[in-house]
Chain A
């Protein structure tokens, strides 16, 4: 009975949330499959990230800290894929470490797939150090004695016998650390890693806002923010990866949210106006 007396504005304000879910779902699916490609404007942090990796010489050693699980796959996977692609182009050696139990398998399988496509050799040009339960302790250990701290890679080979880290004694022998993470792990890397090793950061979008202070201070040399940053990075690498495919849906979802926020506010004003008129 009460529903019949509701005005249009009241109905808009009280719209069932399931309709909102459906609208968002249709919007995401449409723009995921739509063959629209919108070029991104490359943001300064992404450009800095790219330039920093460009400075690497063939054979330089990079540590990738991959700490994401499947829950943030949509943002961290495109980042990690793009970063590994770029490192392989520069012929850099890299090792991966995970402080997230699930990430140990996800990042290993992802790196195995991406490197296999480009013929990068495990053990010779890259390796995975597996899962460590405490990042602070692991970093502090690696700073003094890397082979003694990590001991074995995921395949059970002693780290000291891996050609990719031959002669490496500590983290100081690395050129760069890249933290791909949805958690606040980058301050730990900044605090404990050697000062001669530059740090690059790949956070999820929600974590990026906190990192601008480190970018300002130069403690982070560059940043790829979520899937959006991955798209910009793919654009710089001239590849079409997951970031590019996801960005249309994300772009238009942002628009949809803004349209609905405006609609909600407009309906609220009109409703108030109508109530005032009716006394």
Chain B
């Protein structure tokens, strides 16, 4: 027990000792690599039921780790009096676990890139329909990736940022990618305009209420709403003075920006809160289903 307490106080269970850190880390990475390479054929030879059992167990244990770390009594000192009272025995493992999750997230990016390149390479090699676009994608991908990597290395002062690299990256990133991306998204404004014109029809009382509310908010939130209310109509801006009569209070409340703010804070917010409660409870149920592998698709 004494040894265990000491180990926990030093956090050496989850973190590598200072001395031979590089060697140990390399050995662990290589060991994990060999283990995974060995596991793949084993998993493939297993029948689906066996594979499912492994996935279900790993998922459950991973979920249990985070739940246990969160829910276990914080005051661990009742058992280990010399330990830090703000943590339990799993707390030091959280940081390495976060690092593992970051690595998995980064691997997912790599996997996505690999899938994309493989698909378009196959399109180009087999000259499938519209293979020309695949060539454009692959060339753009290679050029952009090369320049981005070089630019990042230059930022870290590993390679020199010459005028050619600076100019080439700027042309591709600032003047091509960013502009194309922004232009693509801005097209939505045109679709919204066309869709609003065709779809926003007063066919029922509910549709009428929705339409007039939307119009009030649309005008109320932009400077034109303030201009119409306070400059053209001469309504008073700001809050009404204390003890003002009903008419004065009304004058201070009917400016378009005030109405828009009222709709957003008094009508929209409660509705959003209700939706978020529903989504939260649904999310919790879904998380439990995923943790216990009750969702379909766990093979």
Q: Is there an interface contact between B98 and A71, defined as CB atoms closer than 8 Å?
A: no
**Which residues of B from 104 to 131 have beta carbons under 8 Å from A?**
105-106, 108-109
0/1 interface trace, chain B 111-155, chain A, CB 8 Å (1 if under): 000000000000000000000000000000000000010011001
Given A149-B98, A268-B202, 20 more pairs with CB closer than 8 A: A21-B194, A24-B190, A41-B255, A41-B257, A70-B178, A137-B98, A137-B105, A141-B102, A156-B157, A209-B264, A213-B273, A213-B276, A254-B222, A258-B218, A258-B219, A261-B200, A261-B211, A261-B215, A265-B200, A265-B202
Known: A71-B184, A137-B102, A261-B197. A251 touches B223 (CB 8 A): yes
Can you name 17 A-B residue pairings with CB atoms under 8 Å?
A: A25-B190, A39-B226, A40-B222, A70-B179, A73-B182, A102-B181, A133-B105, A144-B94, A149-B95, A213-B273, A215-B269, A216-B269, A260-B193, A260-B196, A264-B201, A265-B200, A265-B201
Chain A, interface SS category: helix
B197 to chain A, nearest CB (A): 5
A116 CB within 8 Å of chain B: no
Known: A20-B193, A141-B95, A256-B193. A70 touches B177 (CB 8 A): yes
B193 to chain A, nearest CB (A): 5
Residues on B with C-beta less than 8 A from A70 are: 177-182, 185
Residues on B with C-beta less than 8 A from A101 are: 109
CB closest residue in chain A, given B221? A228
Residues on A with C-beta less than 8 A from B251 are: none
Q: Is there an interface contact between A257 and B178, defined as CB atoms closer than 8 Å?
A: no
Known: A70-B178, A71-B184, A149-B95. A257 touches B223 (CB 8 A): no
User: Bound state CA distance, A145 and B92, in angstroms?
Assistant: 11
B49 CB within 8 Å of chain A: no
User: Bound state CA distance, A138 and B94, in angstroms?
Assistant: 12
0/1 interface trace, chain A 37-79, chain B, CB 8 Å (1 if under): 0111101100000000000000000000000011111100000
CB closest residue in chain B, given A141? B98
Residues on A with C-beta less than 8 A from B83 are: none
Residues on A with C-beta less than 8 A from B245 are: none
- The number of chain A residues touching the other chain, given as a range, is 35 or more
User: Bound state CA distance, A70 and B174, in angstroms?
Assistant: 10
Chain B, interface SS category: helix
Give the interface of A toward B (CB within 8 A).
Answer: 15, 17, 20-21, 24-25, 28, 38-41, 43-44, 69-74, 101-102, 105-106, 109, 132-134, 137-138, 140-141, 144-145, 148-149, 154-156, 209-210, 212-213, 215-216, 225, 228, 231, 247-248, 250-258, 260-261, 263-265, 268
CB closest residue in chain A, given B181? A70
Q: Is there an interface contact between A250 and B98, defined as CB atoms closer than 8 Å?
A: no
B261 CB within 8 Å of chain A: yes
Q: Is there an interface contact between A134 and B201, defined as CB atoms closer than 8 Å?
A: no
Q: Which one of A20, A212, A258 contacts B264 once the chains associate, using CB atoms below 8 Å?
A: A212
Residues on A with C-beta less than 8 A from B201 are: 264-265, 268
B76 CB within 8 Å of chain A: no
Q: Is there an interface contact between A212 and B184, defined as CB atoms closer than 8 Å?
A: no
Residues on B with C-beta less than 8 A from A38 are: 223-224, 226-227
A197 to chain B, nearest CB (A): 18
B268 CB within 8 Å of chain A: yes
**Which residues of B from 201 to 239 have beta carbons under 8 Å from A?**
201-202, 211, 215, 218-219, 221-227, 229-230, 237
Residues on A with C-beta less than 8 A from B273 are: 213, 216
Residues on B with C-beta less than 8 A from A40 are: 222-223, 226
Q: Is there an interface contact between B222 and A228, defined as CB atoms closer than 8 Å?
A: yes
Q: Is there an interface contact between B102 and A133, defined as CB atoms closer than 8 Å?
A: yes
Q: Which one of A43, A73, A216 contacts B178 once the chains associate, using CB atoms below 8 Å?
A: A73
Q: Is there an interface contact between B189 and A24, defined as CB atoms closer than 8 Å?
A: yes
Known: A212-B264, A257-B193. A140 touches B94 (CB 8 A): yes
A214 to chain B, nearest CB (A): 9
0/1 interface trace, chain B 159-189, chain A, CB 8 Å (1 if under): 0000000000000011001111110111001
B158 CB within 8 Å of chain A: yes
Q: Is there an interface contact between A41 and B230, defined as CB atoms closer than 8 Å?
A: yes
User: Bound state CA distance, A144 and B152, in angstroms?
Assistant: 28
